[in-house]
Structure 1
Amino acid sequence: MSKTAVLPRCPANPASLAFGPDRPWLAPLAGYSDLPFRLLCREYGAAVCVTEMVSAKGLVYHSPGTGELLASLPEDQPLVVQLFGAEADFLRRAVAMLREAGYGWFDLNMGCSVPKVLRQGAGAAMLGDMKNSLAVARAMLEGAGPGRVGFKLRLGLDDARPVLPDLALRLEDLGAGWLTLHPRTARQGFGGAADWQALARLAPRLSLPLLASGDLFSAADGLRCLEQTGATGVMYARGAMHDPAIFAAHLALCRGEKPAQATPAVLRAMILRHMELARALCPGRAALWKMRSVVPRYVRALPGARALRQQLCRCTEWGELTEALENFLPAASR
């Protein structure tokens, strides 16, 4: 966007968000949870979706690409905008701009452990400065209103510097609407196992919704996490990235039903639908480049997936990609 660009308007601002064991959320996935992917996940049953992580400073300065991260449609509701940054003034200004454009729900990323985010003092680095973290949280809540901001947390920077339950309780006192906990430290990144017992210890201390994240690779994982932790709901990240139908499977298990089997025909229909949404909503040829990396994730468990990935990397037209898909799935089903 240029310096004079106007943010895309949010087409709706629902009065509430859905929380509960049968209301699974889609996590903010950098590079993945764009508008087409969010719509696909909603069709499978995602109750709430969160945007890709948006830089508060980039938004204020109208950095190129910010508008694409915020693009939405009436069907893409309720939508939560996830922001990151470590300066209260920029977060305050970013929320004000988004509110003016019609967005009503926000999340502050205090859990990202990617080095380039940590170097800015943002993401999980904020767990090392509770005073500033609370100042940023207060600025966002003042701009958005009580209950309209959630906070994504980790256990701390490392095992020697835990921040829970203190930080969670202070955010609740400030007026947080919900919390999401990925129960690993920033130093762990995505290594080791998520400490679901940390969720179980935190849940009874809170009166606001607590969403569980971390190691939810299947719907069965999600249901088991809910049973073991007492969390209000789950937020699927890598599980959804590999299979958007995880939401349908989650809802089926909540109803006591057996989830539909991921047959080649089912996978084909899902991929074609994603392609349709991407072609309609992504600018230029970006949709094609993205789908070349998306398709291998969806079929990764099938024989020949690696060869398909190599073939897709050479596709420069939609017809080539479609042909490769049509040739692969029948072969995988034999």
Structure 2
Amino acid sequence: MTKVFQLPTCPSNPETLPIGPQYPWLAPLAGYSDLPFRLLCREYGAAVCVTEMVSAKGLVYESPGTNELLMTLPEDQPLVVQLFGAEAYFLGRAVELLRQAGFGWFDLNMGCSVSKVLRQGAGAAMLGDTENILVVARAMIEAAGRGRVGFKLRLGLDDARPVLPDLALRLEDAGAGWLTLHPRTARQGFGGTAQWEAIASLAQRLSIPLLASGDLFTAADGIACLESTGASGLMYARGAMHNPAIFADHASLLAGRPVEQADAPRLRAMISRHLELARAHCPGKAALWKMRSVVPRYVRTLPGARALRQELCHCSDWEELDRLLDIYLGSHAERNT
């Protein structure tokens, strides 16, 4: 019997998205922002989460693995689906299919500088053909509705080929709901320093929200970026990967409270909750394999993190993982009492 491809249903996606300094978003993180991680970040205060990148062509052609990237729950709302691709037909059709499944908010990735994405003419490679971007944008907006599609941008392919502010203003006119700017060029990747002044300059030109991205490693970075750029809001990416509690830290700083120390008890509670969510929402051993790579990110600043990472490579069951964490984080807690 032929298996029927069925997109996951998105439950109760809201009619508006919270955007503002007090509403930090979780950025789309390929290989990281799966359902368990999104739920964890929401518990710490992420106002909106964006899925991992989903191939528009893969979705239309019913590629294996697409459904897993789109799995969601009522508590995983509001949710934005980030798509990538470079052809208007596939981007428009992907949005149509997702709308039929109940998803209401979409983002086009034009910031990814990973070579396998660039080879497809997608991600940041799209910045080399702004006329095609507008054709794609109109197809997505027609399928989703005005204001329901955001666009993730960089400054251009390189310093010699900037695309702002012209492209941003044309996307605004086409019906974009918001823009996100990572103020580096595609050639830079994640090298150098994010040019926050470019965010400030663009924010003054737009009437739709502009979200800031780039070099937001701590909540203090996020608050400083908002204050210096006038951006409508921001997305935490690498900062959230290393510390999902960055959203709680963000709220604390906005309220004038000190940030809670990332000590062993706090880390143990965060890791335990991530383990619980992964076991509940990832199939079979996949959750264990993923957590073996996640835990070292959370404890990377503590002494002995490298030794723990090596031991985790040989960990084959949840009991062993718990034992290693108890020993490692327990020893740190004892040293600080």
TM range (shorter): over 0.9
Shift of 1:4: 2.7
Shift of 1:41: 0.2
The residue that corresponds to 1:129 in the other structure is 129
Aligned-partner SS, 1:228: helix
The residue that corresponds to 2:91 in the other structure is 91
| Mapping for residues 46-57 of structure 1, pairs under 5 Å | 46-57=46-57
Corresponding pairs, count? 333
Letter in 2 for 1:91: L
Shift of 1:332: 2.2
The residue that corresponds to 1:311 in the other structure is 311
CA deviations on 1:119-153 (whole Å, 9 max, x unpaired) are 00000001000010100000000000000000000
Letter in 2 for 1:276: E
Whether contact under 8 Å (1:219, 1:250) holds in the other structure is yes
Q: Which runs of 5+ in 2 are unaligned?
A: none
The residue that corresponds to 1:67 in the other structure is 67
Letter in 2 for 1:279: R
The residue that corresponds to 2:5 in the other structure is 5
The residue that corresponds to 2:174 in the other structure is 174
The residue that corresponds to 2:41 in the other structure is 41
Tell whether 2:128 aligns with 1:152: no
How far apart in 1 are the matches of 2:3 and 2:54? 17
Aligned-partner SS, 1:295: helix
Shift of 1:3: 6.7
How far apart in 1 are the matches of 2:75 and 2:13? 12
How far apart in 1 are the matches of 2:210 and 2:176? 11
CA deviations on 1:1-34 (whole Å, 9 max, x unpaired) are x873110100122010000001000000000000
Whether contact under 8 Å (1:154, 1:181) holds in the other structure is yes
Q: Which moved more, 1:163-172 or 1:255-264?
A: 255-264
How far apart in 2 are the matches of 1:325 and 1:32? 21
Superposed CA RMSD: 0.7
Tell whether 2:219 aligns with 1:219: yes
Aligned-partner SS, 1:140: helix
Letter in 2 for 1:211: L
How far apart in 1 are the matches of 2:215 and 2:87? 31
Q: Which moved more, 1:254-263 or 1:231-240?
A: 254-263
Letter in 2 for 1:131: E
The residue that corresponds to 1:14 in the other structure is 14
| Mapping for residues 82-121 of structure 1, pairs under 5 Å | 82-121=82-121
Letter in 1 for 2:294: V
Whether contact under 8 Å (1:304, 1:332) holds in the other structure is no
State the 4+ residue runs in structure 1 displaced beyond 4 angstroms. none
How far apart in 2 are the matches of 1:12 and 1:60? 23
The residue that corresponds to 2:320 in the other structure is 320
How far apart in 2 are the matches of 1:144 and 1:33? 23
Whether contact under 8 Å (1:3, 1:62) holds in the other structure is no
Tell whether 2:70 aligns with 1:81: no
How far apart in 2 are the matches of 1:264 and 1:75? 28
Tell whether 2:285 aligns with 1:285: yes
Whether contact under 8 Å (1:11, 1:74) holds in the other structure is yes
Q: Which runs of 5+ in 1 are unaligned?
A: none
CA deviations on 1:152-200 (whole Å, 9 max, x unpaired) are 0000000000000000000000000000000000000000000000001
Whether contact under 8 Å (1:128, 1:157) holds in the other structure is yes
Whether contact under 8 Å (1:26, 1:41) holds in the other structure is yes
Shift of 1:279: 0.1
Shift of 1:262: 1.0
The residue that corresponds to 1:262 in the other structure is 262
Aligned-partner SS, 1:176: coil
Aligned-partner SS, 1:90: helix
How far apart in 2 are the matches of 1:189 and 1:3? 40
Tell whether 2:273 aligns with 1:241: no
The residue that corresponds to 2:300 in the other structure is 300
Aligned-partner SS, 2:222: helix
Shift of 1:86: 0.2
